[in-house]
Amino acid sequence: MATIDVQEKFQLKDVAPIRKDPPGSVTEMPSPTKMHHVHIFSDDNYDAMVEFYVRIFNGEVVRVHEKEPPLTFISYDDHDHRVVIIKQPGWGTKPKMPVGISHIAYGYASLGELVFIYKRMKEWGYPAPHWVVNHGNSTSMYYTDPDGNQVETMVDNFSPLDTQDYKRHYQFTEEFGDMAEGNFDPDKMVALYESGVPDSVLMDREEVRRLIREGKL
């Protein structure tokens, strides 16, 4: 087997500028530039968990580490990994109502992508999303992975600044109404989308509420 010259192959390159902050130039707590990756413990459902995340994210297995504990690294973009499934032998299955993270949300570029994901996951035999809702600022479908973790696929309904304003000043107000008024039927959403109803209608909470009242969504 050929050996790899690690220093030669993996030396830092000028693909992107390396930020160099002089001592003392950072005066406030920095915020992350992005959410980078998630590590998820599993046991009995380890293989099913790997398959679920590869499928729902159209990802690929980048590396499998088979020593204890076994790890599977999954990526869905140009980075080395975004999701890691870690097998913990003897842990069994996850309690139904643990204290901890409620769900992790993944943003998509369009309503059409959410519709496609829903159709494909349904074709593959995965359970339907347990919650499908127009939050006003976003349209979301919440899936449950084989271990019971909640995975939200969502698309912003507005620009980032408008989304912030909506959250700060309108969502959960009396005029906004009850969140459940935005719960819709995903199969009806697919039908309306594929019939040519514009995204501007299907992503507008007031239009969604109207279509729900009319039995169309």
pLDDT in tens, the chain (217 residues): 455 555 555 555 555 566 677 777 878 877 777 788 999 999 999 999 999 999 999 999 999 998 888 999 999 998 999 999 999 988 888 787 677 788 999 999 999 999 999 999 999 999 999 999 999 999 999 999 999 999 999 999 988 888 888 898 989 899 899 999 999 999 999 999 999 999 999 999 999 999 999 999 9
This prediction has a pTM of 0.83
**Torsion angles phi and psi, residue 95, rounded to 5:** -60, 150
Exposed (0-12), middle (13-18) or buried (19+): which is 97, by Cβ within 10 Å? exposed
CA distance 165 to 158: 10
CA distance 85 to 44: 12
**138-144/150-156 β-pairing:** antiparallel
CA distance 42 to 71: 10
CA distance 70 to 56: 21
β-partners of residue 28 are none
